[in-house]
């Protein structure tokens, strides 16, 4: 496998969102940002300064932000509601369900600080169940890019996608995996390497760990299929089926294992059979105040954790 992870060039995926939403806004006056008073953290300050007519700050009032965005969508605008993932999925949950998903409005919920990356902010700010919560809403699309370049490309794709969408970004810097010319399609997984013995399906900030684990396994003679499942809804079921031909799948996510990527993959496998699945992710527990890397370690979301799960399936 020739794919590498560039740790010398690290950026948060929220920066990719901020850069791309500004580029989109310059070219498309129908693009709006609805900020919940955290533009600096979510990287939309430049958008607000350069394109004030396309920017609305509702203050620390996330439910109102969802309502304002829904109203904008009824007039043909394409609003991106911007806040932290824990608030954009849970505090806004009822409004997203009733005012956005139920009428099938073209609103994008763009959230930074997904998963464990809030680190020292503690369990109250760590969105560990956001993608699963959004995945359960009818008509909602759920996406998490793996690095800066994929974030930019997927945000651009999101602007052309009809209907509600939840986009999740990291606060912490993550290494570069993709080049700036890589292409992405929402709902279609990105195959990074072919393999016959085992498949590793990851997304977001855990993709780097999946790649490193695959390199380690291949050095031991194990043929590994590596997949970036950046869209967990709609899930690329055809790619899951291709992974099932190996007979063994490890899913990796910075999210609770209860109803995220691993659960979505397991539903397909349970319905069709033919493979075993091991899930690496956040256990049934809240986070705590610690560094991002320490929090990943506490949940075995590490290269060593992936290797242990893989070898248990290979035995």
% of the chain surpassing 90 pLDDT? 95
* Statement: residue 1 has pLDDT above 90: no
Average pLDDT over residues 192-201: 97
Average pLDDT over residues 28-49: 97
Is the pLDDT at 108 greater than 90? The verdict is yes
SS3 309: helix
Q: What is the mean pLDDT of the chain?
A: 96
Q: What is the pLDDT of residue 119?
A: 86
Q: Are strands 31-35 and 55-57 parallel, antiparallel or unpaired?
A: parallel
Residue 192, pLDDT above cutoff 70: yes
Report the C-alpha gap between 158 and 244 in whole angstroms: 29
Tokens of 16: 């990719």
- Beta-carbon contacts of residue 83 (< 8 Å; ≥ 6 apart): 35, 36, 38, 42, 62, 65, 92, 111, 112
User: Whole-angstrom Cα distance, residue 296 to residue 302?
Assistant: 7
Q: What pLDDT is recorded for position 2?
A: 61
| pLDDT tens-digit readout, 50-85 | 999 999 999 999 999 999 999 999 999 999 999 999
Grouping H, G, I as helix, E, B as strand and the rest as coil, residue 27 is: helix
Query: Based on C-alpha coordinates, what's the Rg of the chain?
Result: 19
pLDDT of residue 90: 96
> Is the pTM higher than 0.85?
yes
Is there a contact between 171 and 113 (Cβ–Cβ < 8 Å)? Answer: yes
User: Tens of pLDDT along 284-310?
Assistant: 999 899 999 999 999 999 999 999 999
| Segment 240-287, tens digit of pLDDT | 999 999 999 999 999 999 999 999 999 999 999 999 999 999 999 998
- Residue-wise pLDDT for 143-180, tens only, equals 999 999 999 999 999 999 999 999 999 999 999 999 99
82 beta partners: 35, 110
19 pLDDT exceeds 80?
yes
pLDDT recorded at residue 30: 98
Classify residue 202 by burial, with Cβ atoms within 10 Å: 0-12, 13-18, 19+.
buried
- Where residue 3 falls among pLDDT bands split at 50, 70, 90? confident
Check whether 4 has a pLDDT greater than 90.
Answer: no
Q: Which of 145, 107, 136 is nearest to 264 (CA)?
A: 136
Q: Which residues are catalytic?
A: 62
End-to-end Cα distance, the chain: 23
pLDDT average, residue stretch 110-114: 97
Measured between alpha carbons, how far is 133 from 151 in angstroms, rounded to an integer? 21
């Amino acid at each position: 496998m020739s794919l590498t992870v560039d740790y010398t060039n690290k950026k948060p995926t929220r920066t990719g969102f901020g850069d791309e939403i500004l580029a989109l806004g310059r070219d498309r006056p129908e693009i709006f940002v609805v900020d919940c008073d955290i533009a600096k953290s979510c990287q939309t300050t430049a958008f607000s300064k350069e394109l004030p007519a396309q920017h609305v700050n509702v203050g620390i009032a996330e439910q109102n932000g969802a309502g304002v965005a829904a109203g904008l969508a009824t007039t043909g605008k394409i609003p991106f509601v911007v806040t932290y993932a824990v608030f954009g999925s849970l505090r806004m949950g009822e409004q997203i369900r009733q005012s956005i998903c139920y009428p099938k409005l073209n609103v994008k919920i763009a959230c930074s600080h997904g998963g464990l990356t809030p680190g020292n902010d503690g369990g109250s700010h760590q969105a560990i169940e956001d993608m699963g919560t959004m995945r359960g809403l009818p008509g909602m699309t759920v996406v998490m890019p793996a690095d800066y370049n994929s974030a930019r490309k997927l945000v651009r794709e999101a602007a052309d996608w009809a209907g509600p969408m939840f986009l999740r970004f990291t606060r912490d810097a993550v290494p570069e995996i993709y080049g700036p010319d890589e292409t992405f399609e929402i709902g279609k997984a990105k195959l990074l390497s072919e393999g016959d013995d085992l498949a590793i399906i990851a997304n977001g900030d855990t993709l780097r760990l999946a790649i490193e684990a695959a390199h380690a396994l291949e050095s031991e003679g194990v043929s590994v299929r590596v997949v970036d499942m950046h869209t967990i809804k709609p899930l690329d079921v055809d790619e899951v089926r291709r992974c099932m031909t190996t007979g063994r799948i490890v899913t990796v996510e910075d999210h609770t294992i209860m109803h995220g990527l691993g659960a979505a993959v397991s539903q397909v496998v349970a319905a069709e059979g033919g493979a075993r699945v091991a899930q690496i992710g956040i256990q049934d527990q809240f986070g705590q105040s610690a560094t991002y890397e320490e929090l990943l370690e506490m949940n075995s979301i590490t290269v060593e954790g992936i290797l242990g799960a893989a070898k248990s399936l290979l035995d």
